[in-house]
């Protein structure tokens, strides 16, 4: 097995587009933080920057609930990342020091208050809490946007144009959901007890999302390359609902949304869907989903070789490149490297793969493990066995 020379012949945007369209690439693309489920805890990010000798005084929080930062370009460049988050930033900000050395830039609409128990409390049309020495907020999933819908769309459109014209990064719009309320047990029960109500609810939701899709296409045009639908459908051990029920009550509306987007744009459609979802993947493919994330190979019935063999020519895998549940958090750097090598060399065969770890990097992950993961992903992205990996070899 020969290792080829590290030589790049594509821009990042071309590389990602080729990968998710199952075309040959010069190397496997890499993502860190293009989506709120492909990123890194702000605490782990602070530690990583310190470990690499990079400044830590300008870390902006883009997701207050999960407490995720904007991954800055020096990190994107250091780890050969090909994607950038589409988020224009907050109109006004404040600095916040939750504890010790950690200091962050947060939206002005968030004003954490320390209570008598040592927890940070944020209230804004709801309430969320970061426990003493915690790393993220629980409670209500609060929205800190201080722009109207139209203002937000215009700001995002301007940022998409900037990324498109001033860089070669791939970017995408985040903001659709997949007609399945994964956080509401009562809603899920009604799929069995009152399916007509769920069907009508999804029918109304489709009207709103079709309007939103038209707005996104009109405002952003060619400046973005994809859109994300967020819809967790799986637990650790299996789907959250019977595939036949999902196929009857949810899939018809997802299919209509995907059809509209495909007919009116060149966007690739992502679905973020955690857990053990293998029985649902054929349904998602039939609906028009192009890319699956985070590919939780640590869940039941999600063997990476089986996923690639059964679905690799029909859907692209964005994730699955490192086991964050059992290896990145517990293993040594050498064990992390071994895990990444194994998974990358399964998923990169015949293209259709973008490297990302499984969901976000948690706050207590050692920076040396993070660096080992991303550096190994880059090293392994270049070689293939007789170019079966869809990798363009030198001289091809």
Give ∠ CA 339-343-346 in degrees, rounded to 5. 150
Quickly count: other Cβ atoms within 10 Å of residue 75's Cβ.
20
Whether residue 393 is predicted with pLDDT greater than 90 in this model: the reply is no
DSSP-assigned letters across all residues of 116-181? TTS-EEEESSSEEEE-TT-SS-EES------S-HHHHHHHHHHHHHHHHHH---B-EEEEEE-S--
Average pLDDT, the chain: 94
Q: What's the pLDDT at 388?
A: 46
Q: Which residues is 40 bridged to in the sheet? A: 361
Sequence ranges of the domains in the chain = 12-56+73-90+148-380
| Averaged pLDDT for residues 199-222 | 97
Sign of torsion over alpha carbons 292, 298, 302, 306: positive
Sign of torsion over alpha carbons 298, 300, 306, 310: negative
3 state SS of 147: coil
- For residue range 230-247, what is the model confidence (pLDDT) as tens digits? 999 999 999 999 999 999
Compute the distance between CA of residue 170 and CA of residue 4 in angstroms, rounded to an integer: 25
- For residue range 62-118, what is the model confidence (pLDDT) as tens digits? 999 999 999 999 999 999 999 999 999 999 999 999 999 999 999 999 999 999 999
Give φ, ψ of 326 to 5 degrees: -130, -20
Q: What's the pLDDT at 384?
A: 54
Whether residue 396 is predicted with pLDDT greater than 50 in this model: the reply is no
What is the pTM for the complete model shown?
0.95
Residue 123 DSSP code: E
Q: What's the pLDDT at 6?
A: 66
Whether residue 1 is predicted with pLDDT greater than 50 in this model: the reply is no
Q: What's the pLDDT at 29?
A: 98
Whether residue 160 is predicted with pLDDT greater than 50 in this model: the reply is yes
- For residue range 291-314, what is the model confidence (pLDDT) as tens digits? 999 999 999 999 999 999 999 999
Whether residue 392 is predicted with pLDDT greater than 70 in this model: the reply is no
Query: pLDDT > 90: what percent of the chain?
Result: 92
Whether residue 3 is predicted with pLDDT greater than 70 in this model: the reply is no
Tell me if 223 sits within 8 A of 163, measured CB to CB.
yes
- For residue range 7-16, what is the model confidence (pLDDT) as tens digits? 899 999 999 9
Rounded to 10 deg, the angle between the 195-220 and 251-264 helix axes is 10
Whether residue 172 is predicted with pLDDT greater than 90 in this model: the reply is yes
- For residue range 6-57, what is the model confidence (pLDDT) as tens digits? 689 999 999 999 999 999 999 999 999 999 999 999 999 999 999 999 999 9
Give ∠ CA 356-361-367 in degrees, rounded to 5. 105
Band of pLDDT at residue 5, cut at 50, 70 and 90: very low
Tell me if 45 sits within 8 A of 341, measured CB to CB.
no
- For residue range 358-372, what is the model confidence (pLDDT) as tens digits? 999 999 999 999 999
Fold of 12-56+73-90+148-380: TIM Barrel (3.20.20)
Residue 248 DSSP code: H
Whether residue 207 is predicted with pLDDT greater than 70 in this model: the reply is yes
With a CB cutoff of 8 Å and minimum separation 6, the contacts of 92 are 107, 108, 109, 146
């Amino acid at each position: 097995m020969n290792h080829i020379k590290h030589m790049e012949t594509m821009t990042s945007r071309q590389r990602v587009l080729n990968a998710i369209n199952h075309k040959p690439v010069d190397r496997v693309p890499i993502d860190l933080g293009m989506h709120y489920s492909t990123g890194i805890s702000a605490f782990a990010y602070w530690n990583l920057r310190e470990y690499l000798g990079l400044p830590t005084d300008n870390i902006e929080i883009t997701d207050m609930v999960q407490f995720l930062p904007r991954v800055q370009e020096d990190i994107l460049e250091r780890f050969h990342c090909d994607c950038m988050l589409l988020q224009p930033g907050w109109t006004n900000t404040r600095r916040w020091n939750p504890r010790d050395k950690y200091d962050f830039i947060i939206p002005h609409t968030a004003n954490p208050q320390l209570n008598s128990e040592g927890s940070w409390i944020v209230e804004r049309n709801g309430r969320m809490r970061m426990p003493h020495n915690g790393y993220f907020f629980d409670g209500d999933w609060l929205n800190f946007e201080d722009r109207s819908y139209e203002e937000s769309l215009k700001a995002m459109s301007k940022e998409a144009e900037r990324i498109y014209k001033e860089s070669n990064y791939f970017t995408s719009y985040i903001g659709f959901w997949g007609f399945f309320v994964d956080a509401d047990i009562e809603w899920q029960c009604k799929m069995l007890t009152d399916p007509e109500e769920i069907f009508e609810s999804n029918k109304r939701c489709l009207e709103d999302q079709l309007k939103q899709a038209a707005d996104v296409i009109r405002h952003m045009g060619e400046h973005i390359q994809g859109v994300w639908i967020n819809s967790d459908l799986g637990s650790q051990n299996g789907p959250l609902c019977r595939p036949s029920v999902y196929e009857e009550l949810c899939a018809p509306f997802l299919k209509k949304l995907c059809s509209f987007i495909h007919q009116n744009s060149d966007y690739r459609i992502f679905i973020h869907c955690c857990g053990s979802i293998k029985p649902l993947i054929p349904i998602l493919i039939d609906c028009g989903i192009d890319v699956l994330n985070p590919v939780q190979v640590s869940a039941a019935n999600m063997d990476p070789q089986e996923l690639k063999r059964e679905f690799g020519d029909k859907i692209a895998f964005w994730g699955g490149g490192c086991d964050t549940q059992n290896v990145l958090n517990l293993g040594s750097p050498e064990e992390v490297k071994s895990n990444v090598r194994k998974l990358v060399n399964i998923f990169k065969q015949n293209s259709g793969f973008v490297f990302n770890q499984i969901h976000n990097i948690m706050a207590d992950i050692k920076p040396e493990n993070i660096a080992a993961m991303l550096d190994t992903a880059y090293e392994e992205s270049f070689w293939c066995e007789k170019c079966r990996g869809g990798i363009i070899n030198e001289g091809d």
